[in-house]
């Protein structure tokens, strides 16, 4: 069984906890809302000041002096510390956005500087992108400005507090009292929260606009886990009927497709009925305004549906349980498909598009990463092209997938998802196929391997197409024609 090496060490098991506020006076509520409005101005101006490319690579610890030169806390009647904590929070968010941009540029850099011979040049580009020095390069600023979306903030419903900005005291078994720093020095606001442990560290007081309530958001440390130097490698195929199918032959998260389809169909049916009511409302606006207003208020409100969508946790529960069962407390190196890019030129029915949109690839990816962090595992994403069309036994394109079955060239039938998971595991350690290669380049590599395999059987690619072993679509490619002329 393949093993993967990684650095040893310890990892913290962190999760975000949301605690409702169950008690505060009207005076405290009014002042907290006023503080949120003022800090919203700070947050917006901080994004405008620091969100441009000219502040690329800025340390969030140095963000406050930059913003203070533009806006002083006295001009808004805010304590300096409250403003500093908000600006630092914005600085961290912008740094995370820049890091995501650099990761997204990987495909462009591999296309511009392909192959192992250009690895040093790519590493040099990554090093330049970590600081504003990339602006002196003739190529990097163009791709950064095309990829990087300058952030703007209209958030006016939260306050960030560090540890010295509040105190926490136990009132009863399930109630704690927080004393929060206010606008006046030495004046603190008391609020009650429903929780059974003392709150520590950075907290975020948020007014939830959907639930119409105040909440405290903070990180909870569930302990640490030791990272082993070696871990077992596993490939996972992301599916729709199930969340994952791993290279050990186990399915995780069965029933996801049924839940997602039922949820999608219910929403469509409801929205069709809402469309008819909306047409009736518009028709009666001039004929019977009173009835039209009643329809708008009583039948076209989103309150009930929004509440139902928030409480509909079945799909999220299945995804989380699938990720947990994959690791089973074991430290693994997981190879998964990189499904962040849309499939261009692929047409499908409206119903299929709708159902695939509800299949949240981002939610599956985030859940997988969360449980990897909690178990000291590593998730590596691979180039996904043709992983479901390769015979995992021979590593060639000989065979046909139909539904949940993959028929090999010799007639042996394999479970399609299991076959794809084994291909993903092999792709993770493939030296010829990198994550950022294009589909055409991957196809050329696989056709060369298929041709070599057929040569050992005294057959050619044309023979494989005629026998029905190889899909005829490959015969239209440039790589196929070049291999024929070279034979």
DSSP for 227-238 reads EPSEEEEEEEEE
Long-range contacts of 67-70 (CB under 8 A, 24+ apart): 67/42, 70/45
Of 36-40, 266-270, 461-465, which range is least confident?
Answer: 266-270
Using 50, 70 and 90 to split pLDDT, how confident is the model at 224?
confident
- The domain locations on the chain are 12-224, 233-382, 399-486
Structure confidence at residue 359 (pLDDT): 57
Using 50, 70 and 90 to split pLDDT, how confident is the model at 260?
confident
435-480: pLDDT as tens digits: 888 899 999 999 999 999 999 999 999 999 999 999 999 999 999 9
Q: Which string of b and e fits 124-138 if b means at least 16 CB within 10 Å?
A: ebeeebeeeebeeee
Structure confidence at residue 329 (pLDDT): 83
What's the gap between Cα 459 and its chain centre? 45
Q: What percent of the chain has pLDDT over 90?
A: 64
Judge whether 82 and 165 are in contact, CB under 8 Å: yes
Q: Which residues contact 370 (CB under 8 A, 6 or more apart)?
A: 15, 323
What's the gap between Cα 179 and its chain centre? 35
Give strand pairing partners of 183. none
Q: What is the rounded distance in angstroms from the CA atom of residue 397 to the CA atom of residue 93?
A: 44
Residue 223 CB neighbours (<10 A): 9
377-413: pLDDT as tens digits: 999 999 999 999 999 999 999 999 998 999 999 999 9
Q: What is the rounded distance in angstroms from the CA atom of residue 400 to the CA atom of residue 403?
A: 10
Structure tokens at 80: 């300096």
Looking up tokens 């529960």 gives 317
Structure confidence at residue 244 (pLDDT): 92
Q: Which residue from 236, 430, 224, 437 is spatially nearest to 333, judged by alpha carbons?
A: 236
Q: Which residue from 353, 388, 375 is spatially nearest to 245, judged by alpha carbons?
A: 388
Using 50, 70 and 90 to split pLDDT, how confident is the model at 330?
confident
Q: What is the rounded distance in angstroms from the CA atom of residue 422 to the CA atom of residue 237?
A: 9
| For range 27-32, the mean pLDDT | 95
Half-sphere exposure of 305 (CA within 13 A, CB side): 13
Structure confidence at residue 58 (pLDDT): 87
Does residue 344 carry a pLDDT above 60?
no
Structure tokens at 463: 């023979």
| For range 74-87, the mean pLDDT | 95
Structure tokens at 10: 């310890």
Structure tokens at 125: 């580009």
Comparing 369 with 226, the larger pLDDT belongs to 369
Structure tokens at 380: 């590596």
Using 50, 70 and 90 to split pLDDT, how confident is the model at 358?
low
Using 50, 70 and 90 to split pLDDT, how confident is the model at 144?
very high
Q: Which residues contact 274 (CB under 8 A, 6 or more apart)?
A: 299, 300
Helix (H, G, I), strand (E, B) or coil at 152: coil
**What's the CA dihedral at 390, 391, 393, 396 to 10 degrees?**
-60
Does residue 8 carry a pLDDT above 70?
no
Q: Where are the beta strands (DSSP E) in 96-165?
A: 158-161
Using 50, 70 and 90 to split pLDDT, how confident is the model at 151?
confident
């Amino acid at each position: 069984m393949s093993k993967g090496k990684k650095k040893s060490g310890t990892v913290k098991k962190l999760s975000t906890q949301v605690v409702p506020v169950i008690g505060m006076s009207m005076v405290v509520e009014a002042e907290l809302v006023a503080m949120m409005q003022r800090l919203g101005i700070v947050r917006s101006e901080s994004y405008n000041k620091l969100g441009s490319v000219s502040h690329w690579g800025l340390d969030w610890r140095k963000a406050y002096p930059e913003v203070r030169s533009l806006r002083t806390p006295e001009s808004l009647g805010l304590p300096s510390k409250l403003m500093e904590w908000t600006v630092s929070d914005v600085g961290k968010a912008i740094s995370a956005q820049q890091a995501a941009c650099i990761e997204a540029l990987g495909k462009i850099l591999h296309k511009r500087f392909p192959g192992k011979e250009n690895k040093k040049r790519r590493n040099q580009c990554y090093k330049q992108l970590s600081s504003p020095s990339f602006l002196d390069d003739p190529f990097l600023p163009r791709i950064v400005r095309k990829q990087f979306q300058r952030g703007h903030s209209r958030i006016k419903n939260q306050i960030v507090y560090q540890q010295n900005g509040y105190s926490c005291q136990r009132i009863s078994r399930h109630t704690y009292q927080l004393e929060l720093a206010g606008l006046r020095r030495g004046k603190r606001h008391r609020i009650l929260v429903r929780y059974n442990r003392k709150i520590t560290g950075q907290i975020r007081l948020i007014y939830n606009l959907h639930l119409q309530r105040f909440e405290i958001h903070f990180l909870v440390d569930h302990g640490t886990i030791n990272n082993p130097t070696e871990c077992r490698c596993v490939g996972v195929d992301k599916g729709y009927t199930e969340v994952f199918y791993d290279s050990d032959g186990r399915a995780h998260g069965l029933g996801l497709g049924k839940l997602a389809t039922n949820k999608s169909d219910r929403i469509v049916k409801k929205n069709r009925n809402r469309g008819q009511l909306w047409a009736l409302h518009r028709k009666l606006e001039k004929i019977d305004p009173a009835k039209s207003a009643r329809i708008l208020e009583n039948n076209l409100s989103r309150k009930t549906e929004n509440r139902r969508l928030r409480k509909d946790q079945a799909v999220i529960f299945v995804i989380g349980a699938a990720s947990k069962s994959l690791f089973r407390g074991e430290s693994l190196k997981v190879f998964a498909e990189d499904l962040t890019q849309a499939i261009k030129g692929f047409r499908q029915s409206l119903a299929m598009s709708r159902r695939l949109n509800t299949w949240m690839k981002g939610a599956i990816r985030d859940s997988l990463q969360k449980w990897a962090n909690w178990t000291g595992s590593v998730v590596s994403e691979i180039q996904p092209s043709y992983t479901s069309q390769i015979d995992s036994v021979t590593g060639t394109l000989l065979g046909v997938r139909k539904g949940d079955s993959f028929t090999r060239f010799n007639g042996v039938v394999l479970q399609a998802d299991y076959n794809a998971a084994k291909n993903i595991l092999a792709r993770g350690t493939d030296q010829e196929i990198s994550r950022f290669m294009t589909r055409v380049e991957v196809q050329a590599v696989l056709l060369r391997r298929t041709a070599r395999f057929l040569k050992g059987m005294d057959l050619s690619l044309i023979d494989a197409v005629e026998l029905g072993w190889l899909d005829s679509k490959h015969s239209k490619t440039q790589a196929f024609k070049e291999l024929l002329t070279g034979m």
